[in-house]
Chain A
Amino acid sequence: MSANDFLSGGFAAAPESSDHFEIKKSYDLFIDGKWVKAPKQFETINPATDEVISRVGFAGKKEINQAVKGARKAYDSVWSKMPPAERGKYLFRIARLIQERAREFAVVESMDGGKPIRESRDVDVPLAAAHFFYHAGWADKLKYAFPGAEVSSIGVVGQVIPWNFPLLMAAWKIAPALACGNTVVLKPAETTPLTALKLAELIQDAGLPPGVVNIVSGAGDTGQALVRHPDVDKVAFTGSTAVGKAIRRSVAGTGKRFTLELGGKAANIVFEDAPINEAVEGIVNGIFFNQGHVCCAGSRLFVQESIADKVIKKLKKRIESLVIGNPLDKNTDIGAINSGEQLARIKNLVKVGKDEGACIWQPSGGVPRKGNWFKPTLFTQCAQSHRIVQEEVFGPVLAIQTFRTPQEAIAKANNTPYGLSGGVWTDKGSKIFKMTTGLNAGVVWANTFNKFDPSSPFGGYKESGIGREGGLHGLSAYCQLSH
């Protein structure tokens, strides 16, 4: 009997229902407080079933122009002039409305993106509400945030967000922008537009003045038209490093402000004196959270040589017990891969991993026949030069290497163009600080992994991005400072 038998036999299906709210057959673009028909539409698909959920508008240049115009008008006439405390009240109200409709947002998020309902319910949606609540309070306190500097708003912000945390990323982007007095045009990702469009409904319910937030669905061209628009004062982007560099090029010489949150290849470092069981949980959470569709995923594991066999054995046993399947089922640990395109990318890199000589391991169970799935995957015998060690897979694939000394671990961990996050597992305090100081990464988790909070700044070193989001340090990205 494998460890999985009792699980697959032992848990009755426990799916979340989706009959207590409405998903419309189609969604238009939310521009200047109104729903505007786009000339074209595209389908958004449930990656776990391949079924069409809804159709959404495809914004072109004309619609982007309209949205930026709406945002500019709202900035000039209303939002930049409103007493900051009043701005804050709108944000508080949005936070409350998200909390009220939390279950609906969680279910739609899991349907549209494929992530387990446990994650959308317990992480994405509560954190989205928390981001609005946190930033709401900053609106009338900005003068205390930057010692000795005068603070003012920037203007119209163009924001482009990814498909891995659709609602949460919208909240990360919109909440601080609005709190600091800016207006927003946001483009959700092509494969996951629904929660952002539902957020637009909620923003209408909150009575936010027209044009303060505009939400325009579309594809790459839509995002490009937005970041290149001459009347956009600041660009905020979360996504791949390749697209981030293209955006950086397009804002060069324009004087536009920008923040980029890009890819990562985080090292998760486990020492022989670590609490092993907790570390194994941390490794699993680090790489399999959200199917590994996480820019800060702990996709490189470094285990101290003396405990490598033990850790890998425990890790395999733990992975055998993970439940893969229906994202709406509360037992599910690993949901669907977000899109066919992403699945192909993962499969390709895994093939490269095998071809380059790393040893692959996957658990014994199967995956559903319909939809996009990929089993949690381990690679051992990896070299620093392997592409699965160097490149971001953005899927449930972990590259395992060993080390002997802390210096070796730091040297290997930093041997990457990325620098978003990292993890350290040891019971020795002084070693924690030695390691967290040595890692070139913007977020370092010691004896934990993949934790997020609106008060905690997030962002990368090196090619993982420029700027921070969240916390005190994230505010400066949305403010003009004179000093």
Chain B
Amino acid sequence: MSNPGIPKTYKLFIGGKFPRTESGRILEVTGPKGEFLANASRASRKDFRNSVVAARKASGSWAGTTAYLKGQILYRIAEVLDGRKDQFVKEMSLLGVSSKSAMEDVVASIDLLVHYAGWSDKYQQLFSSVNPVSSPHFNFSLPEPSGVVGVVAPSDGSLAGLVSAMAPIVVGGNAAVVLLSGNPLSAISFAEVLATSDVPGGVINILTGLRSELVPEFARHMDVNALLLCSDDAEERKNTELEAVENLKRVVLSPDKALTQSPYHICDFQEIKTTWHPVGV
């Protein structure tokens, strides 16, 4: 008798836990021939607000975590993901992705994590300055994390798309709430990687759901400091910018595909703080 296995329940990832959506709604995930694969959660606006609360709670201590430790935690995510490569490839195959492309996607994700792990204690040096003011003061400018950042990840559902959007934000000391609108299975499996990689609960929260329902809420929320929107839809971009005005949320618009690796993506979610002090006795 063959072993039927135990199909996984795909849930949300909020505050380090895996809750079902409070709304009780699902998004049915099917394979290439239309066969049933899973019931993913269709996150609600309330789930999003709960995620922001979790992210805000985590953001202070994550921002204060040493650069060295942040780098090690990102590297740890890469290590754990590397150990589970096959699981991701298998899962993507069910969705109709060829094993070769699936493996490329996972390896690209691992490479991105290693790349950004290395930035954790370098971008501050590269993008800070000591300013030669014409008065007897010592004056310097440093990047600081924006705070809580919403991430509307590329809609192709690729793991590298998610990681390329999330990693620069998180290595920069922000807490993130990520929305996956495409095929969300690998995103939730990735949350299992995060949960076992010493990432403090709430630093990365992952929701699966519909853009039309959740993106306006990402844009409107008054306790979200910045938003990355990966989108090619001109109307979605404009509406998001408009909805984000009330708290002058920083909105970064990016094409609907994986981001190239660059420290400037870290800078997009930093604020520059300048400090003055007199020099004298």
CA–CA, A455 and B126, complex, Å: 17
Partner of B274, one of A248, A417, A443, A483: A443
* B34 at interface, CB cutoff 8 A: no
Q: Which residues of A from 426 to 483 have beta carbons under 8 Å from B?
A: 432, 436, 441-448, 451, 453, 455-459, 461-463, 465-466, 468, 471-473, 481, 483
- Residue of A with least CB distance to B222: A417
Q: Which residues from A are CB-within-8-Å of B247?
A: 417, 462-463
Query: Is there contact, CB below 8 Å, between B248 and A471?
Result: no
Query: Interface residues of A toward B: which range?
Result: 35 or more
CA–CA, A241 and B277, complex, Å: 28
Query: Is there contact, CB below 8 Å, between A481 and B139?
Result: no
* A244 at interface, CB cutoff 8 A: yes
CA–CA, A149 and B237, complex, Å: 25
* A324 at interface, CB cutoff 8 A: no
* B131 at interface, CB cutoff 8 A: yes
Query: Is there contact, CB below 8 Å, between B273 and A444?
Result: yes
Partner of B141, one of A245, A253, A463, A473: A473
> Shortest distance in angstroms between A473's beta carbon and chain B's nearest beta carbon?
5
CA–CA, A147 and B141, complex, Å: 17
> Shortest distance in angstroms between A444's beta carbon and chain B's nearest beta carbon?
5
Query: Is there contact, CB below 8 Å, between B273 and A473?
Result: no
* A177 at interface, CB cutoff 8 A: no
> Which residue, of B234, B250, B271, has the highest number of chain A Cβ atoms within 10 A?
B271
CA–CA, A333 and B238, complex, Å: 47
* B47 at interface, CB cutoff 8 A: no
* B2 at interface, CB cutoff 8 A: no
* B23 at interface, CB cutoff 8 A: no
Q: Which residues from A are CB-within-8-Å of B245?
A: 245, 248-249, 252
Query: Is there contact, CB below 8 Å, between A453 and B139?
Result: yes
> Shortest distance in angstroms between A130's beta carbon and chain B's nearest beta carbon?
7
> Shortest distance in angstroms between B251's beta carbon and chain A's nearest beta carbon?
9
Evaluate whether A248 and B272 lie within 8 angstroms (CB atoms) in the complex, with A448-B137, A471-B131, A473-B141 already known.
Answer: no
- Residue of A with least CB distance to B261: A483
Partner of A447, one of B246, B271, B277: B277
> Shortest distance in angstroms between B274's beta carbon and chain A's nearest beta carbon?
5
* A148 at interface, CB cutoff 8 A: yes
Partner of A441, one of B225, B241, B273: B273
* A111 at interface, CB cutoff 8 A: no
Q: Which residues from A are CB-within-8-Å of B141?
A: 456-457, 471-473
Query: Is there contact, CB below 8 Å, between A456 and B277?
Result: no
* B61 at interface, CB cutoff 8 A: no
Query: Is there contact, CB below 8 Å, between B250 and A446?
Result: no
Q: Which residues from A are CB-within-8-Å of B126?
A: 147
Evaluate whether A442 and B273 lie within 8 angstroms (CB atoms) in the complex, with A453-B131, A456-B131, A481-B264 already known.
Answer: yes
* A260 at interface, CB cutoff 8 A: yes
CA–CA, A391 and B137, complex, Å: 30
> Shortest distance in angstroms between A140's beta carbon and chain B's nearest beta carbon?
19
Partner of A459, one of B139, B241, B264, B272: B272
CA–CA, A444 and B277, complex, Å: 9
CA–CA, A174 and B274, complex, Å: 22
Query: Is there contact, CB below 8 Å, between A448 and B274?
Result: no
Q: Which residues from A are CB-within-8-Å of B131?
A: 453, 455-457, 471-472
* B133 at interface, CB cutoff 8 A: yes
> Shortest distance in angstroms between B79's beta carbon and chain A's nearest beta carbon?
27
* B69 at interface, CB cutoff 8 A: no
> Shortest distance in angstroms between B31's beta carbon and chain A's nearest beta carbon?
38
Q: Which residues from B are CB-within-8-Å of A441?
A: 273
* B66 at interface, CB cutoff 8 A: no
Q: Which residues from B are CB-within-8-Å of A451?
A: 133, 135, 137, 276
* B196 at interface, CB cutoff 8 A: no
Partner of A456, one of B264, B274, B278: B274
Query: Is there contact, CB below 8 Å, between A260 and B139?
Result: no
Query: Is there contact, CB below 8 Å, between B137 and A466?
Result: no
The interface residues of chain B, by DSSP majority, are classed as mixed
Evaluate whether A432 and B277 lie within 8 angstroms (CB atoms) in the complex, with A244-B248, A451-B137, A453-B131 already known.
Answer: yes
CA–CA, A468 and B241, complex, Å: 20
* B132 at interface, CB cutoff 8 A: yes
Q: Which residues of A from 244 to 284 have beta carbons under 8 Å from B?
A: 244-245, 248-249, 252-253, 260, 262
* B98 at interface, CB cutoff 8 A: no
* B200 at interface, CB cutoff 8 A: no
Partner of B129, one of A445, A446, A473: A473
Query: Is there contact, CB below 8 Å, between B133 and A455?
Result: yes
> Shortest distance in angstroms between B163's beta carbon and chain A's nearest beta carbon?
19
CA–CA, A459 and B137, complex, Å: 19
Q: Which residues of B from 165 to 212 have beta carbons under 8 Å from A?
A: none
CA–CA, A432 and B250, complex, Å: 28
Query: Is there contact, CB below 8 Å, between A443 and B276?
Result: yes
* B242 at interface, CB cutoff 8 A: yes
CA–CA, A396 and B1, complex, Å: 85
Query: Is there contact, CB below 8 Å, between A253 and B133?
Result: no
Q: Which residues from B are CB-within-8-Å of A245?
A: 245-246, 248
Q: Which residues from B are CB-within-8-Å of A483?
A: 262, 264
A-contact 0/1 string along B266-281, CB 8 Å cutoff: 0000011111111000
CA–CA, A432 and B275, complex, Å: 10
- Residue of A with least CB distance to B143: A473
Evaluate whether A473 and B278 lie within 8 angstroms (CB atoms) in the complex, with A248-B245, A249-B242 already known.
Answer: no
Q: Which residues of B from 118 to 133 have beta carbons under 8 Å from A?
A: 126, 129, 131-133
> Which residue, of B135, B247, B273, has the highest number of chain A Cβ atoms within 10 A?
B273
Q: Which residues from B are CB-within-8-Å of A462?
A: 225, 247-248
Partner of A468, one of B132, B262, B272: B272
CA–CA, A472 and B131, complex, Å: 9
- Residue of A with least CB distance to B253: A255
> Shortest distance in angstroms between B268's beta carbon and chain A's nearest beta carbon?
11
* B134 at interface, CB cutoff 8 A: yes
> Shortest distance in angstroms between B137's beta carbon and chain A's nearest beta carbon?
6
Query: Is there contact, CB below 8 Å, between A456 and B273?
Result: no
* B263 at interface, CB cutoff 8 A: yes
Q: Which residues from B are CB-within-8-Å of A448?
A: 137, 276-278
Query: Is there contact, CB below 8 Å, between B275 and A252?
Result: no
Partner of A466, one of B135, B250, B273: B250
> Shortest distance in angstroms between B45's beta carbon and chain A's nearest beta carbon?
22
- Residue of A with least CB distance to B264: A483
Evaluate whether A446 and B275 lie within 8 angstroms (CB atoms) in the complex, with A248-B248, A252-B241, A417-B247 already known.
Answer: yes
Query: Is there contact, CB below 8 Å, between B263 and A148?
Result: yes
Given A446-B276, A451-B135, A471-B131, 5 more A-B residue pairs with CB atoms under 8 Å apart are A447-B277, A448-B276, A448-B277, A455-B132, A462-B225
A-B CB proximity, top 7 nearest: A253-B238, A252-B241, A453-B133, A455-B131, A446-B277, A456-B131, A252-B242
A–B complex contacts, Cβ < 8 Å, 18 sampled: A252-B245, A253-B242, A442-B273, A442-B274, A443-B276, A445-B275, A451-B135, A453-B131, A453-B135, A455-B139, A461-B273, A463-B248, A471-B129, A472-B131, A473-B129, A473-B141, A481-B264, A483-B262
